[in-house]
Structure formats: C-alpha cells, structure tokens
Amino acid sequence: MKKTILGAITLVTLLVLGACGSSSADTASSGASDATEIKVGTGNEALPYAYLDENGEYDGYDVAVVKAIDEKLLDYTFTFEGADFPTTLSNLESNKVQMAAYEYEVNDERKEKFVYGDVGYVVWDTYIVSDSDAGTVYDSFEDLAGKKVYVTTATNQAAMAEAYLAENPDAFELVYGEYNNEQIVQAVTSGAVDATLAPEYQVDNWNNSFSENLEIGSEPVHNSDAYLLFNKEADQDFIDAVNTALEELKADGTIKELSEKYLDGDYVPE
C-alpha cells in the first residue's frame, strides 16, 4: 500500500492559528462546587463538530451535545481539552482526558482500547467524495482504482480504506493529512487527490463554506453512527449517567435541535 504525507495547507487567519496551534482547555459549565471534574477530549478546528469560535470558546455539534449532557449531570463538571483527531485518542488512552467527543465511530481497534457509550448521537454514513468539476463521481472503492484518496490517520475512514487495501493491494493510494476542512477541500479541488471520504452533511458544509461543487457517490460505502468514548478506567457510574442523560436528550428532542442547528438537518440515529 502506497502512502503519501500531504503537507499542511495554511489558509486560516493568524487569530485562529494562535488559538488552534496547540491543545487548550475550556470549562463546559461551572457545576456544583463539589462536582467531579471530567476532562473531555475534542477537536479545536473541526467544523461543524468541534472548533474554537471567534471568541476562542469551544463550539460545534459534539461540543454542544456534551454541554447539554453536563447541564443534566449536577455531580460532574466538564472541561474541554482540544487537540487534533489522533492526539485526542492518545489523550484518552493515557487518561489525560476521561471522555472524548469527536464523531467516533465503532471499530475493532478502538473497542480494544476504550469503552464506547451506548447511545449513538449522529449518523455517520460514509460516501466517496470528489470534485464534480473534474467530471468523475465514485460510487465504490472499486471505482477508485489507480486514484489518490485523502484520509486522516486514526479515523474510521482511514481504517476502512486500509482494510480494503489489505485485501486489494495497491488498488489506490492513500494520502494522509490533517483533519482540517480547508486542507481536505483544497486537496480535492486542486487535484492533489482524486477523492476523500465523508458523510453527506460534511460535504454540504464544505460546499457552503468554500463555494465548491463537491459531490458524493450514489450509495454510502459504509454505514455507521458516532458515539462518545471513555477511558477504560472511567467510573462505570459516570458512564451510565452520561448514557442515561444522552438518551433523555434524544427523547426530548434536544439532540435533534442541535443536529439541525449545526448540521443543517436531522441526522440523529433512531
């Protein structure tokens, strides 16, 4: 399997660079004075899921879901620790953070290292994404023969592509880069790669944000939901409390409202 490292493409302002250049922390809510502090790993430049807004505060769909959970759990107070996607997983494994919210799908490697929450909070059906201006739409991995595909290390999209290549060596080339919207879009539209992998609402976000014409295949290449992740040593009572709170938030419509606000549609699993 051929691998290429794609250099970072800097298209963000100095302000954002200053805020996002290293991991940072932010408190979700004040909570009770005797509440147990829980550090939550998430992203800091992954629109629309987890990012720092113009005031340097954490925002995004995953962040809002965690904040809503925090409001229901008076015995806990959450503090965010931002980092890139693979670093967040490393922080969770080392117990630098006790919980992580970063659109985590289920895969075997993560199941060995972490505890998954019981409640899915967003549908993450993966499509092959390409630039329609280039004239080709890809419906399956077979269609990508001889092409270059952008993925981010440690993501489920990288894992599924790697699994396909393990059975079909050199079918296509993986180009590894950061989980950064501008970098991904630039890679696809410039022709540096032929395609990437993402859910439909992420592609809608890219097209709206960057005025592009990215297009998805006719069918997803993988069906999945995203879940919260916990450190293996996390207290079971805490995990149960989070699961219960999230289920209640789904039942009362809060998660649907957050999905419509941040993802421009109802992408909450049944």
Residue 7 half-sphere exposure toward CB, CA atoms < 13 A:
3
Query: Which of the residue ranges 20-24, 59-63, 111-115 would you say has the lowest mean pLDDT?
Result: 20-24
Name the pTM for this structure: 0.80
Average pLDDT, the chain: 90
pLDDT per position as a tens digit, 47-100: 899 999 999 999 999 999 999 999 999 999 999 999 999 999 999 999 999 999
Structure tokens at 172: 């296509």
- CATH architecture, domain 35-122+223-261: 3-Layer(aba) Sandwich (3.40)
Given a cut of 50, whether residue 5 has pLDDT beyond it is no
Q: Where in the chain are the domains?
A: 35-122+223-261, 124-220
Do 35-122+223-261 and 124-220 fold alike per CATH? yes
User: What gap in Å lies between CA 192 and CA 94, rounded to an integer?
Assistant: 35
CATH of domain 124-220: 3.40.190.10
Instruction: Kindly give, in sequence order, each residue whose CB lies less than 8 Å from that of residue 189, ignoring residues fewer than 6 positions away.
Output: 131, 133, 210, 212, 214
Query: What DSSP state is assigned to residue 134?
Result: G
Catalogue the E-assigned strands of the chain.
3-5, 25-27, 36-42, 45-46, 50-52, 58-59, 76-82, 99-104, 114-116, 122-123, 127-131, 148-151, 173-176, 195-198, 214-216, 225-231
